[in-house]
Amino acid sequence: MKILIADDESIIRMDLRETLEAAGHEVVGEAADGREAVSLAETLQPDAVLLDVKMPRMSGLVAAGKIRGAPCVILTAYKDAKTLAKARKSGAYTFLLKPYKEPELLAALELAAARFEERRALEGELADSRGRLEARKLIDRAKGLLMDRHGLKEGEAFRVLQKRSMDTRRSLVEVAKEILAAEKPA
């Protein structure tokens, strides 16, 4: 994985880099504060981002809420309920306590990346479903208009739409939009 590290302590960043590279990951960037992490995440497009909670200029929790292109793993020495609740609301995919153990860190990254990909797939499916639903609504409205205007049954109205679609080599949705647009008052 390509990983971005954000921690205000350079020794922590160095230790994380060594651990990740030894495990076969590529550290594509390092940030000393949350603002820099957000900026680097946009330009470097990492597969995952490791963020410390307490950093200057912008906390890791705020940065996690702004980073949309990669899953964020929060690393922190703070284990109080308030910090955990903020991490949950930030959009972070998981939370890891310092001092971390290498297997826990690597497992957290793998889990975060897998959950992020699952979420992206679900968001894509949802967008597709919404698009199909909108198309279906347009086609149904156009069918209803043809039924009212020409006294057709539903199946007949649909066949009129299909025929026009095939004759003009346009999609059913484009034909439906054209029919509905023709009925709008000028």
Domain residues of the chain, as ranges?
Answer: 2-100, 126-183
Select, from the ranges 8-22, 106-120, 171-185, the one with the highest average predicted confidence (pLDDT): 8-22
pLDDT digits (tens, 9 = 90+) for 149-166: 889 899 999 999 999 999
The DSSP result for the chain, as a single string, is -EEEEE-S-HHHHHHHHHHHHHTT-EEEEEESSHHHHHHHHHHH--SEEEEESS-SSS-HHHHHHH--SS-EEEEES---HHHHHHHHHHT-SEEEESSP-HHHHHHHHHHHHHHHHHHHHHHHHHHHHHHHHHHHHHHHHHHHHHHHHH---HHHHHHHHHHHHHHHT--HHHHHHHHHHHHS--
Whole-prediction pTM value? 0.69
pLDDT digits (tens, 9 = 90+) for 66-80: 998 899 999 888 777
**Is pLDDT above 80 for 181?**
yes
CATH architecture of 2-100: 3-Layer(aba) Sandwich (3.40)
What length does the chain have? 186
Fold adopted by 126-183: Arc Repressor Mutant, subunit A (1.10.10)
Q: Report residue 178 as tokens.
A: 């054209």
- pLDDT band with cut points at 50, 70 and 90 for residue 136: very high
